[in-house]
Every structure is written in structure tokens, then in C-alpha cells.
A and B are shown apart, each in its own frame.
Chain A
Amino acid sequence: MDTIFALASAPGRAGVAVIRISGPAAFPAVHELTGAGMAGRGLSVRRLFDSSGDVLDDAVVLGFPGPGSFTGEDVVELQIHGSVAGVSAVLGRLAELPDLRLAEPGEFTRRALENNRMDLAQVEGLADLIDAETEAQRKQAQAVLGGALGAVADGWREKLIRAAALIEATIDFAEEEVPVDVTPEVSALLIAVQDELSHEIKGVRIAERIRSGFEVAIVGPPNAGKSTLLNTLAGRAAAITSEIAGTTRDVIEVRMDLAGLPVTLLDTAGLREAEDKVEAMGVALARERAAAADLRVFLMSEEEVPQDLRQNGDIAMRPKADLLMDASDAISGLTGQGVDVLVSRIEEILTHRSASAGLATRERHRWAMMTAQDGLIAAQGLLEQGPEMYDLAAEDLRHAIRALESLVGRVDVENLLDEIFSSFCLGK
């Protein structure tokens, strides 16, 4: 049984972040990070070091020897300072240890189940958790794969299928008219993927810090006061406001800090049938960005919210509270009425959501790419030793592809066979 770890608390800036480690190598990992062992159940304050001996952070270390732990295995919790970079560094350090790997979604729960550490009531409650988790995962995958990384990953997939198919063809169709030595083409493919992988691995780290924010779109009819609300929330005049409907045409982004979570507010063009061509483009863009955002704040009454844009958890508040007799559920950027209600609702929703998504997923991608990188390097080394090593090279390549499955999708033996049969004339 291997040992797994993950960030157990919400991602983003916070006072304290909790990293949970479960499995036989949990206590040895503490020894590895702190330079000293830990004697069973208990609490101690330790300094964590990276592999070159530099200080990572000071941590409260909690030990729960199995079977009296959450998962029933040896469990260690590291409570560290909740900085994005700090958490990322500790997770990265844990990933370097040979017997440890990042947990799959739901894996801690699964181990608890397997070791009979959950009772019926907890199993009942599990459904909600899983629901949240799978939804977050789906969104995450869509966001990542819809973007630039998606195109790169598709390219990897194609190259890796081709490379694996070439090796498998020499193994499974040795009797037939296939090339005996496929090293040159396979090596070229593997090197190309390795180059792009190392580029992306560097990118993930940077992206993690800059981009781990939630997008919140302010949506509403023209002249509802969307830009005024944005300016109030941001505390500065980020968007131009005027009495003229349709002033905002582009999407204006303001990054801000909300309850420790990085948030990007999006001010969008007012939704209406625009006659002006430029404004119409603005409206189309507004709809697109609003749909892709993590959360939408509709400045309109609940009934007026366009059904095609509405998603679970979205917020609707009536605009211009200052002009209304009954200002319940209404907001005004001008007077500040209802603004703290909105802020606390956004906070509540995002904090809840971040419990299952965010940093860990990013770290998972980085881990996947690094594992794949190692596999490709090993495969290439074996290939160069000639066909007698092809079975081992194929295994390392398979290992790499399995690691990348979260990015490129599952590569099945049928994909390899498709490639083989379309490339070679087989059938003696």
C-alpha cells in the first residue's frame, strides 16, 4: 500500500493550511522533512526542510498511528502557514519522496471505507461530498483542457500513441512486414514531448501563483450600475461609469482579495439587443465570459435572470437600492447599500467550493507531468540499447502515458492498434 498526501484545508491564503499524509510511509516522511523521527500519537512543533536543507516552514505536526486514525492507516497532519507558495513548496517536497504520491480525489475517504473507519451516517453524507468533488473536477478538467494546454496535450497524445504503436508493432507483429528498428522515429517523438513537458512543468508553478483565482462576473441589463458596483468593490475607479447605457463594451477585470481568496471581478457589457455593432460584440463577449466564470452576480430580480446563463449557486440582487422603497435583496454601488451582504455571500460560496478544487489539482498536474517525464527519459534510454529492450521501453512509456491520463485522456490498447493497423500492412 503506497502512501498518499494532499492539502486537506481550503486552498488560497489563510492563517493555517493542513496537509494530510496517510499510509505506511507517513511517519518516515516526517523524519525526512524534519530530520527527526516522531514517536506515535501526539503533537510537536517542527521545522520543515527541503532536500537541499533550506527551511520550508515551521509546522505543527500531529501524529495519528493506525488503526486509530481517520483512514485507519498511519496518518500525519502538517499544519503550516497558509501561503500559496509555502503550501505548494511543501507539497512539492512530499512528491519528491519515493514512497509518496498525491492522493486521487476521494482516496482518503476510500481508504477510510476500506478500513471500516466510517460509519453508516458518514457514508450517507459522502454522496454530497463526492458530488461536489466530481463537479469541481469536471470543471477543472474542462477549463484546463479548453485552453492552450488542451491543444498541447492533444499533441502529446498523438505523439505518444504513435510512439507506443511503433514499439508494439515490432513486438506483436514481429513476423510481419514491419520495421525492425523503430528507434529513430520513436526517439524523435519522445524528445518532442519531453521538451514540451519541461516547458509546461515550469509554467504550472508560475501559473499557480498568478492565476489561482476565482472569476466572478457581474451581469445585468444596461445602466444597472454594474461598473459602479465593481468600482465600489475594488475601492477604485477601474471602470468608466456614466448615465449612458452601454458604456462598458469590453470586459473589465479587477483582481482583488476576498476573505483570503484571490478573486477576479469581471464587469461586463449590459445585456440587451444592441443595434451598435461594437456594442453587440461586447454583449456577446459578456455572455461568453459570464458563462465561463465560476460565479455570476445578476443585478436584476430573481425572475429576470436569463435561464441560459444561470448556474447553481449564482446570486441575484435587484440594482439601484438607493432608488427603491423596499430595498431588501437589493444593492447599490453608489451608496454601498447591500454591498457587505453580497461580499459575504460570495465569500461563503467560494470558500465552500475551494474545499475540493484548486491547488491540489494543479499540483496533481505537475506531478503527472514530472512522472511522465521520468518515464519518457527511461524509455528513450532503453530504446537506444536496441530491440531486445523494447519490452522494457514499452513498459516505461506505458507508465508515462498512465501518469498523463489526467491531461491527455485515457490511451487504450485500441488506440495503439488503430495506429498500427492504419500504418502497416499486416496479415500474413
Chain B
Amino acid sequence: MKHSPVDVVVIGGGHAGAEAAHAAARMGARTVLVTLKREGIGVMSCNPAIGGLGKGHLVREIDAMDGVMGRVADKAGIQFRLLNRRKGPAVRGPRAQADRAIYRSAMLAETEAREGLEIVEGEVTDFLMDGLRVSGVLFADGSEIRAGAVVLTTGTFLRGVIHIGDVRRPGGRMGDKPSIKLAERIDSFNLPLGRLKTGTPPRLDGRTINWDILESQPGDEEPELFSFLSKQVEAKQISCGITYTNARTHEIIRENLSRSAMYGGHIEGVGPRYCPSIEDKVVRFADKDQHQIFLEPEGIDDPTVYPNGISTSLPEEVQEAYIRSIAGLENAKIVQPGYAIEYDYVDPRALNAQLSLRDVPGLYFAGQINGTTGYEEAAAQGLVAGLNAALAVQGREAVAFSRTDSYIGVMIDDLTTRGVAEPYRMFTSRAEFRLSLRADNADQRLTPLGLRLGCVGEERRVAFLDKIERLDTARSLLSSETYTPKQIGSVGIKVKEDGNRRTGLEILAFPDVAFESLIPLVPALSSIEPPIRRQVENDALYASYIERQKRDVSAMKRDEAQVIPHEFDFMIVDGLSNELKQKLTHARPETLAQAGRMEGMTPAALALLMARLRRNGQAKRA
């Protein structure tokens, strides 16, 4: 098979790969997505859920750039819940249980329908090299595709090893075969590698669970969807079940610890602390006499249940014994035993902020291979890599996401400047500008950027501009006039009798004032739709904090704008300590902002670095 050259080749059809391929194609790049088999596109290999705290923010941001994950998750969602509903809007995260089969088929349909995107089934065994530059891919059958840029999103395929108790075998996900030759090529790049591990629980047959005696967790009555374009849920909605481990469960696990791959010393990789195995929980928190388990159905027509909270690498028969010690699971059948997987990841500090390898032009990495975990983290990286691969091929300037505008920017910066010590997962606490980076305003933060780049389609453009107009109307109604404390008090809002006149927005900033209570004061507000009302409320609630953060934001933006050229020599900067010079040389920060976040950096040293950069800039111009 002879394939004509394309702009971008994406290897892998998981969450990173699908999003990367769609992003490149939306940018107008001729794109090929290579996958072992078509049915592998959009597979959820871990738990059947999308979103959550921090993660839901990422999905909204992907959607704001017209990405696919949000829309597909809305089609596949069978239980929607807005997490932290009782807390401030900045920390609320949309989440949904997804029907695996619907998710997969909807993602495949989106991918097949995307203009400029072609799916090619096959195994990539090597890159085509043009000197140091990657210029395409070679397939197992000897065919090849030349491309301007290649995005690799192959998850855990680098020396992946699966452990079930003391049985182990090479492999990526269950059932996938590892690509040895490609791994050897990557080794030849001499990239810094590390080893991580992650675990899964045994999957259960839902028809053998005694649901009647278990707690049930329904979805929200008013589902909060992911996409700014989705109007309503499409799939049938279900509830999840909740059960608990008990003293007997813990006893079985303790007795068999030495047979666990983890505790038997078969695993050297570092696991995520926020998602420990049940062995870990029992050992490290020995004083707890029970642990919660969420029983999450994997689909409407699929009896498989994912028991979230008990991932394990114990042998199969031990898994069966402890499962049956749990209330409601006395007769449960294991469909597939839990397993742990160990794999190599590439230290993401080898990548620049475009997720392109610093030393291998033309090659981008996205997803689990960069040391992250989670579908959302993977998809967000896919978006960044796909956009930038397309921009590079088109000879356009790269797109940079900032810590000040998005969780995507926070993640890319964390990965590429600090690396990872355990599988990296997004948390809202990682975002220092959390109050302004909300799930509810992701479109206002990023869609304008998407429109400038050209990755946003017509439907979203129209919807977005319409929403902005409606927001402007509401805001101008609320800021055009001021009211005395007496007027405000007359509509039942408590306010200090300080003689100060206040605008509607200022009144809305009081934490206990709802938009609706202002309608008697400004009758025209009654024409504003509820979603716009909520948005205006949220903005007003955080206004004073966001104002205070402006200084930090502008300082960071200024430092991000000061680019440090790739070839800049830190050793010749007079006045810096030798230790700092060496740290800088090793880390190669790309901007002054990244340099400033390094340990041991002082404001004075930053000023010096800037002076040197400026001097170089002037010398060049002269």
C-alpha cells in the first residue's frame, strides 16, 4: 500500500490520539490517525467515567476549543453529577458515568465524519527519519506515510508489563500487543525515562450483584453537561451503587499480601497516591475498618460493573475471595480480574510547551507516555500537540496556553518544567488562579483563542458570539445605574447604611444575593435567561479576588512573554551563582516565567537574566 504524504500523522486512537487528530484536522491539516484496529478508537480502558474535579475543567476547556471529548461524553453519559455543588462555582466539576459502547461508537463516528481526517489501521514499527527530524512513519507491512509532523500517543506501550498476582506478561492494555521495534527507535533518542504503575479493580457481572440491599447514588436532577453546545442528555440515565469493605475483607487481603505483585516485590514503578490499591489502603490506613466502593455500571446494555476503589494486583482466587466478603457482592462473578500495569514514561521535561521533543524536531508526545493519568489529561495534551503539529506544518506561530488562562496551561507547564514523580493527575489546587479558571467560563477564556487559530467551527462560533452578546446585555443592565442603600433595602436586600451608591454588579457580589432578588430593582433583568444569570452571578462573586490577582496575572504574563532562545547560554550570565547557572542549563526554561518558578531563583537573579536577554536582543538587531 502506497500512501501519499500528509501534514500530520497521529499514532494511537486513545483519548490523546483522537483529540490530537481532530485538532490537527480542524486546523485544516491533512491528518491520518493510525490505530491497530478501528474499534480501538475512544476505548475507555480504566473506569467508565469522564470529568470530575479539575478534570471536568479540562473537558470544558477542550470543548471551548471545539474539541470532541465533551460532546462525545454528553452523548454517552448515563449518570451526570456536578461535584462540589454545595461549594463555590470555581471548584465545581462536571462528571459523568459513560456507557463504554456508546462512547466508543460516538467517538468513531465523529472521527470518520471529520473532514480532512483519515483512519488507517496498522502497526507503526518505526519513524522515517530525515537526519534528526522525524518525517513520517513505517508500518509492519513495509508501507510508509511521509508527514510534516508525527504525534505519538501510545500510552503504556513502552516496556509495559501486566501483573496479576505473581503472573506477569508483557503488554499495554489487556489484549494489546507491545510494539518492540518502535520502542527501540525511541530508545535511540536517549530520552530520560522513568517507571510508573497503575492498577485496575476486578470487573464484576452486574447481574450477580444484590443491588436491593445496597445504597444507591442517583445522578443530578438537572444534569450539568460538558459541552457548551449540548442541550440535553441522550442516553438512558442510571444510578450507581455504593458498598463497603469490612474487617473480613481486610483480613483476606492481609493474609495474602505476599502474593500481591505490589507487595511481593515484583513491581518497581511508582503508583499514584490518590488512587492506591486496596492492598495499599489496608496496610497504610490500618486503623480504618472499612473503605467505600462505588459500583459503576459500564453501560446500559452491558452488565459489566466497575467497582471503583479496590484496584489490586492480587492473584485471581484472592480477588474472588475478598470480593465475596463484601455486602451485596456475596455471589458476584468476576468477568475480568484486576491487574496492575507497569510502564516506562518519558520525562516530560524533554518536551517543550508545544509537547514537541526539544531534541527531535517533528515529533510530538501526548498522553500517558508523558507520565500523566486520566482520559481528560490525555485528551487535553492531544489537543495541544495536535494544534501545534498543524501550526508547525503550516509555518505558523505555535499556540501557548498559560497558567493564567487555563488548566491546560497549568498542566503543560507543570509537566514540561517540573516533570512528574507519580502519575500526574489534575487537581483544582494546582491552579493558582483557580477562581478565574472556572468550568462555567471556559468558553469565554478559550473560544476567542480558538477562533483566532481557526480550530472552531461555525456552529460554535455563532453560539458563542450570541452568548457573549447576551452576557453583555445583562452586565450593562447591572452596571449602568447606581442605587442608594435605601433603594436596595426596599427590595429586601440587607446592606450597610453607609450612604454609598452601588451598581447591580456590586450588590451581586454579596455572597447571599441572587440574581433574581435584583429584578424588582431592575425590572429589565427578568428577560435574562437562567444560564446567563448564573454566569453573571459567578463573575460578581469573585470580582474582588480576581481584581487582587490581576497583579500576579500580569506579572506572570509579562514573564511568559519574555522568551529565552533555545541556544541561550546561561553559563555566561555574570552575577548568577554557579549552582543556579547549572540548574538553568539543565532545565533550559523557555520563558522568564518558567525560570522564575525554579527552586533557588531570586527576583534579583531574574532581573539579571532579563538584562542579559535584552542585551542579546539588542545586539541581534544592531
A binds B: yes
Knowing A105-B602, A133-B604, A413-B430 are in contact, say whether A177-B87 is a contact too (CB < 8 A): no
Whether a CB of chain A sits under 8 angstroms from the CB of B473 is no
A417 at the binding interface (Cβ < 8 Å): yes
B84 CB–A CB distance under 8 Å: yes
> Is residue B435 contacting chain A, with contact meaning CB distance below 8 A?
yes
Q: Which residues of B contact A176 (CB under 8 A)?
A: 292
The answer to whether A427 touches B274 (Cβ under 8 A) is: yes
CA distance A137 to B84 in the complex (A): 43
Interface contact B611-A413, CB-CB below 8 Å: no
Instruction: Specify which of B90, B291, B311, B602 lies most central, judged by the most chain A CB atoms within 10 Å of its CB.
Output: B602
Q: Looking at the complex, which of A48-56, A123-131, A331-339 is the stretch in contact with chain B? A: A123-131
Q: Which candidate, A30-38, A149-157, A392-400, is the interface stretch facing chain B?
A: A392-400
Candidates A130, A173, A175, A417; contact of B607 at CB < 8 Å? A130
Closest Cβ of chain A to B259, distance in Å, is 21
Structural contact, B281 and A106, CB atoms closer than 8 A: no
Provide the A134-147 mask, 1 if CB < 8 A to any CB of B, else 0: 10010000000000
Residues of A within 8 A of B554 (CB): 1
- The residues in A between 401 and 428 inclusive whose CB is less than 8 angstroms from any CB of B are 410, 413, 416-417, 421, 425-428
* Interface size counted on chain A using CB atoms at 8 A: 49
Q: Which residue of B lies closest to A133 (CB)?
A: B604
Q: Is the CB of A387 within 8 A of B86?
A: yes
CB distance from A137 to the nearest CB of B (A): 6
Contact of A105 among B91, B309, B573, B604 (CB under 8 A): B604
Contact call B511/A131, Cβ cutoff below 8 A:
no
Please tell me which stretch of A75-83, A107-115, A280-288, A291-299 contacts chain B, meaning at least 4 of its Cβ atoms lie within 8 angstroms of it.
A107-115
> Is B139 part of the contact surface with A, judged by Cβ < 8 Å?
no
CA distance A37 to B75 in the complex (A): 64
Q: Does A70 contact B (CB under 8 A)?
A: no
Residues on A with beta carbons closer than 8 Å to the beta carbon of B429: 168, 171-172, 394, 413, 416-417
Which of A106, A118, A137, A174 has a CB less than 8 Å from the CB of B608? A106
Query: Chain B residues near A428 (CB, 8 Å)?
Result: 292-294, 308-309
Name the CB-closest residue of B to A428. Answer: B309
* Contacting residues, chain A, for B90 (C-beta < 8 A): 391
CB distance from B359 to the nearest CB of A (A): 27
Once the chains bind, are A174 and B83 in contact (CB under 8 Å)?
Answer: yes
Chain A contacts of B548 at CB under 8 A? 399
Interface residue? A198 (CB, 8 A): no
B496 contacts A by Cβ under 8 Å: no
Whether the Cβ atoms of B575 and A131 lie closer than 8 Å is yes
> Are A385 and B511 closer than 8 Å at their CB atoms?
yes
Partner of A113, one of B87, B311, B545, B607: B607
With contacts A171-B84, A391-B435, A425-B284 known, is A127 near B551, CB below 8 A?
A: no
Binding site for B on A (CB under 8 A): 1-2, 104-107, 109-110, 113-114, 118, 120, 123, 126-128, 130-131, 133-134, 137, 168, 171-177, 385, 387-392, 394-395, 398-399, 410, 413, 416-417, 421, 425-428
Binding site for A on B (CB under 8 A): 52-54, 83-84, 86-88, 90-91, 272-276, 281, 284-285, 288, 291-294, 308-309, 311, 427-430, 432, 434-435, 511, 542, 545, 548, 551, 554, 558, 573-575, 577, 599, 602-608, 610-612, 614-615, 618
Query: Contacts A130-B605, A175-B83 given; 10 further ones with Cβ under 8 A?
Result: A105-B602, A110-B603, A113-B607, A168-B427, A171-B84, A172-B54, A390-B88, A395-B435, A417-B273, A427-B276
Interchain Cβ contacts under 8 Å between A and B, 11 examples? A127-B608, A130-B604, A137-B604, A172-B428, A388-B87, A391-B90, A413-B427, A413-B430, A417-B427, A421-B274, A426-B273
Those 4 A-B pairs whose CB atoms lie nearest each other, nearest first: A391-B88, A106-B604, A127-B574, A127-B575
